[in-house]
Amino acid sequence: MVHSTTTLPAAQATVPNLYGATRSEATAILHQAGFYNISFSEGCSTSGLHDVVNSQTPAAGVITAVTARVGMHIHILGCVSISNVVGWRMDNALDHLRRTGWTPVAGNGGCVSGDNGVVATMVPRGGSFARPGSQVRLDPGCL
Asked whether residue 4 is domain-assigned, the answer is no
Read off the pLDDT of residues 70-113 as tens digits, 9 standing for 90 and up: 999 998 888 889 999 999 999 999 999 999 999 999 887 666 55
Residue-level pLDDT at 10: 72
CATH of the domain at 67: 3.30.10.20
pLDDT at 18 over 80: yes
Distance between CA atoms of 138 and 135, rounded to whole angstroms?
Answer: 10
Residue-level pLDDT at 114: 54
Where among 76, 102, 124 does a domain terminate? Answer: 76
56 contact partners, CB below 8 Å, separation of at least 6: 15, 18, 19, 70, 71, 72, 73
Q: Which of 21, 133, 129 is nearest to 77 (CA)?
A: 129
**Backbone φ, ψ for residue 99 (5° rounding):** -65, -25
Domain count, the chain: 2
Residue-level pLDDT at 113: 54
Same domain membership, residue 54 and residue 95: no
Where among 28, 56, 76 does a domain terminate? Answer: 76
Same domain membership, residue 89 and residue 54: no
Q: Is the pTM of this model over 0.85?
A: no
Same domain membership, residue 69 and residue 95: no
pLDDT at 8 over 60: no
Q: How far is CA 101 from CA 43, 88, 117, in A?
A: 18, 18, 22
Residue 101: domain span? 80-140
Read off the pLDDT of residues 24-68 as tens digits, 9 standing for 90 and up: 999 999 999 999 999 999 888 777 778 899 999 999 999 999 999
Structural contact between residues 118 and 92, judged by C-beta atoms closer than 8 angstroms: no
Same domain membership, residue 84 and residue 62: no
Residue-level pLDDT at 3: 60
